[in-house]
């Protein structure tokens, strides 16, 4: 049984692990538990998995009547989880984050079922801190998370998404499908599926200069923000080396053919770029809990595996300067790529499967 939801950062690592489990043992049965309103409602059924959902909500930091509802929903969800656990009888329960994993793993631990949590970020979330007292094993993606958990339960595995992208690394891809060239160094700029207004604004400012570069740029605006960007670019003619698209299709195929990536610093993105050894300019989102994207990015910057531009320092010029520094210096790109790859976990899914087995073995002794 897998519990995790709300955002893609909790869902995609779970799906990557499940994909690997089914490659190893095709008869593996999985029941996915998510929330009624999260992205999992679309993503998990598309992956061909059975999904059951619970209504959950988080605590407000201030005194609020809604916190009473939060407690009520949690207790109700624990009872629902116990019912589903009795029906499904899993060998092990994995939680990948989000409030739903709190209820499901708490219920499983109280029933004596093997439990594992996977923490994707360098800053541990509230739910996983709560669960750490009850679960059998804890898998982490960043060394920085180790000190935030009981040390005897922790294993550094990396993020299963890393192994998934490595399996696609050798996939042939030609940039000619995007109207670009295969022989020219490629800069990809991607602010997430919804796009990021400040990143979009800085790219719009930089495009007249990008037009004149000897490298090529593919820039994804986000589906909802494409029309606005096109409007902002009215009167600007794009050279053949610059492509503006709403969304990057076949991202897994394209990533290994990118020379430098400009992106947010979500846990899944970091797993992918370090697994593939991609030099990256990270622009952490300032809108996430505990500012964890800055800390995620800093872990790479400290090792020389990435550069970082904080959003309040992001302009067309600062973006262009960082892009030129890497795109015009192949030696520097290779150095950064090597340092990035040293932080990667190309066997992360297999390592997490080992941790799941460790949890099962604890209960067999």
Instruction: Flag whether 164 is marked binding.
Output: no
316 is in an annotated binding site: no
Structure tokens at 212: 């004149």
DSSP state of 225: G
Q: What three-state secondary structure class fits 264? A: coil
The annotation status of 9 as a binding-site residue, yes or no, is yes
Map residue 232 onto helix, strand or coil.
helix
CA angle centred on 280, ends 275 and 285, rounded to 5°: 105
How is residue 114 written in tokens? 């093997």
CA-CA distance, 284 to 295, in Å (whole number)?
Answer: 9
Residue 164 phi, psi dihedral angles, 5° rounding: -65, -45
Q: Is 211 annotated as a binding residue?
A: no
Residue 7 marked as a ligand binder: yes
Token duo for residue 159: 């993020």
Cα distance between residue 276 and residue 342, in whole Å: 10
Task: Evaluate whether 100 touches 4 at the Cβ level (below 8 Å).
Answer: yes
Residue 8 among known ligand-binding residues: yes
Who's near 193: CB < 8 A, 6+ residues apart?
Answer: 8, 222, 223, 247
Rounded distance, CA 343 to CA 300, Å? 8
Residue 98 labelled as part of a binding site: no
What would you report as the CA-atom Rg of the chain, rounded to the nearest whole angstrom?
A: 21
- For the chain, where are the alpha helices, taking DSSP H only? 8-24, 40-46, 66-88, 99-110, 126-131, 160-167, 197-210, 226-232, 251-255, 267-276, 292-301, 316-327, 330-342, 348-364
98 in Cβ contact with 35 (< 8 Å): yes
| Residues in the annotated binding site | 7-9, 121, 193, 248, 293
Binding residues for UDP-N-acetyl-alpha-D-glucosamine: 7-9, 121, 193, 248, 293
């Amino acid at each position: 049984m897998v519990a995790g939801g709300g955002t893609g950062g909790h869902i995609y690592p779970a799906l990557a692990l499940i994909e690997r489990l089914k490659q190893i043992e095709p008869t593996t049965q999985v029941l996915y538990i998510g929330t009624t309103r999260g992205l999992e409602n679309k993503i998990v059924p598309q992956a061909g998995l059975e999904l059951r959902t619970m209504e959950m909500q988080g605590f407000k930091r201030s005194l609020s009547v809604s916190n009473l509802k939060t407690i009520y929903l949690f207790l109700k969800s624990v009872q629902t989880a116990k019912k589903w656990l009795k029906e499904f009888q899993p060998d092990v329960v994995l939680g990948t984050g989000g409030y739903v994993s709190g209820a499901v793993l708490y219920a499983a631990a109280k029933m004596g079922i093997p439990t594992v949590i996977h923490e994707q970020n360098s800053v541990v979330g509230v739910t996983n801190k709560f669960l750490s007292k009850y679960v059998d094993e804890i898998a982490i993606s960043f060394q920085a998370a180790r000190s935030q958990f009981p040390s005897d339960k922790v294993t550094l595995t990396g993020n299963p998404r890393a192994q998934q992208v490595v399996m696609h690394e050798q996939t042939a891809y030609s940039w000619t499908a995007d109207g670009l060239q295969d022989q020219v160094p490629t800069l990809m700029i991607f602010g997430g599926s919804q796009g990021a207004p400040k990143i979009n604004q800085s790219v719009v400012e930089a495009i007249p200069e990008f037009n004149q570069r000897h490298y090529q740029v593919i820039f994804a605006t986000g589906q909802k923000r494409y029309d606005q960007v096109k409007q902002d670019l009215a009167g600007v003619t794009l050279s053949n080396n610059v492509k503006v698209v709403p969304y990057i299709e076949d991202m897994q195929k394209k990533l290994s053919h990118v020379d430098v990536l400009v992106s947010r610093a979500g846990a899944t993105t970091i797993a992918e770029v370090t697994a593939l050894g991609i030099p990256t300019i990270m622009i952490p989102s300032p809108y996430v809990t505990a500012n964890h994207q800055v800390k995620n990015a800093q872990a790479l910057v400290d090792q020389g595996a990435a550069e970082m531009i904080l959003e309040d320092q992001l302009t067309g010029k600062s973006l262009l300067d960082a892009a030129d520094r890497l795109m015009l210096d192949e030696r520097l790109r290779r150095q950064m790529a090597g340092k990035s790859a040293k932080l990667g976990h190309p066997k992360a899914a297999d390592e997490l499967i080992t941790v799941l087995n460790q949890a099962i073995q604890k209960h067999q002794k």
